[in-house]
Amino acid sequence: MQRVTRRLFAPEAAVSRPLPGASPHALRPLRRPTSERTEYAPASGPYVVAALRANDPRAVWTAYKSVMSNAATWRKDAQSQVTLPPLVHSAVLASLVQHLIPSVAVVHAEMVILNMKSARIPLSLADYNNLIAIYMRNGDLRSLMDTFRSLLDNTYPSLRNRVSAIPVPPHLASLPLATPPRKITPNIRSFHLVLTAHANAGRVSETAAILEQLHAFHPTSVTSDPVSLAIMISAHANSSRRSAEDLKAIRHMLNSSAARSQFGFTDRRILDAAVRGLGLCGDFEGAKELFQSYESKYGVGGYSLESIDAMMAVCEVHGDLEMGEALLADYFNIRRRNDRTSPSDGTSKNQQLSKKRIFAMPLLSTVKALMKLNLAAGNSVRVLDLFHGELRDTQLPDRESYELVIRCYLNDGHLDEAERFFEKMHERGHKVNQDLLEAMETARETAKVA
């Protein structure tokens, strides 16, 4: 069992995973099934491995809960507990990073950490990074920073959410904490996750302070880490004030030697962040000019999914529906051209595969931004076409996309359809905003009067 899990779910693989991007790919976990004490209960570990191999987060959590519940019934004495191998716990924690509902993922992740702590399993760097990523997706900066400090101290993180109320058995409370065989140092991914969390919250000064800490831990990142500069630009773009000072800082970071010559090249991620930042800070023409000059001015050919998504976000803020529709049309045109690329045009097979990966599917945020533009313009039919077409064909709908569809039906006076999607939101466990609740109540009252 340990040999299989070590090959399939090595911690190094989790560390190398990309930052959480557009649409998380997971489903809400099922309620734990009632399980009886059977002779094969402790051997249910392979069921967890099979679910992990199938990349089915819902099945992973169901199997994991079942195994851990059976392990509790098979405990023979205070010091003996049937449990899963350490790498399986780590793999389950990694799968929760892609959970569709971040608030649920946090509770599940803390249960995994509690189980590892009870079994005296030391946390690896991948475990710390995955827990930080889960807190980041839930917007829980306090727990995220506590976990980051625990990583620096090589201690178990404190669990601040619902799982913290679960009492630890007396025989486990007195056990010393397990320590890793060697001191763990946060890697660049650890800092990127913490930087991204603060940048998403628009905390410019905190982001800058963490960036200095990253340079202290990894001095070579100053000249080899354009991602950190892109995140710093995003912090200014997400600032609540979005003042002239933020716009000036973004322009300086884009045009300074740090963005151009320090890394030896201009990174696309810096340009994407600058496009979004310029547009969100009010310089629509500057964002559009930069977006159209990737190749001519900076030598960066073509666009990535993130490039198109950045410009779509700018269109959403400035209400440019025409350009938003053109962007999505251009995306599909580029994708069709890439699909038709043949070896005879001098493009290698690896380059062709790379292009197809870049333009595999539009990002969920891209489609949602276009849905918002059409909703604001009163184009209900187009909103529903995007939801049932480009969005449902490529991504799992999230809370915000359901809300857009419900508002679309409410605007058209179709209360029955709005109620149907409202129930779907509840079935999937999505939290409903107060504004939408009030809109639903108003529509119901209006229907009663009519």
Span 235-250, average pLDDT: 91
Residue 433 token pair: 């905003």
Residue 302 has pLDDT above 50, yes or no: yes
Per-residue pLDDT band for 324 (boundaries 50, 70, 90) equals very high
Enumerate the domain spans of the chain: 2-165, 186-298, 303-375
Per-residue pLDDT band for 94 (boundaries 50, 70, 90) equals very high
The whole-number pLDDT of residue 438 equals 92
Higher pLDDT, 79 or 118: 118
The whole-number pLDDT of residue 319 equals 95
The whole-number pLDDT of residue 73 equals 45
Residue found by looking up tokens 């480009």 in the block:
390
Per-residue pLDDT band for 329 (boundaries 50, 70, 90) equals confident
CA distance 124 to 85: 14
Residue-averaged pLDDT of the chain: 78
Q: Which residues contact 157 (CB under 8 A, 6 or more apart)?
A: 113, 128, 131, 143, 146, 147, 150, 151
**pLDDT tens-digit map of 338-360:** 555 444 445 444 444 344 444 45
The whole-number pLDDT of residue 180 equals 55
**pLDDT tens-digit map of 43-65:** 356 778 887 887 777 788 888 88
**pLDDT tens-digit map of 398-424:** 889 999 999 999 999 999 999 999 999
Give pTM, 2 decimals: 0.76
**pLDDT tens-digit map of 267-292:** 889 999 999 999 999 999 999 999 99
**pLDDT tens-digit map of 132-175:** 999 999 989 999 999 999 999 888 888 765 554 444 455 444 44
CA distance 196 to 106: 18
CA distance 171 to 340: 65
Q: Are 388 and 367 in contact (CB under 8 A)?
A: no
CA distance 243 to 236: 9
Q: Across the strands, what pairs with 80?
A: 77
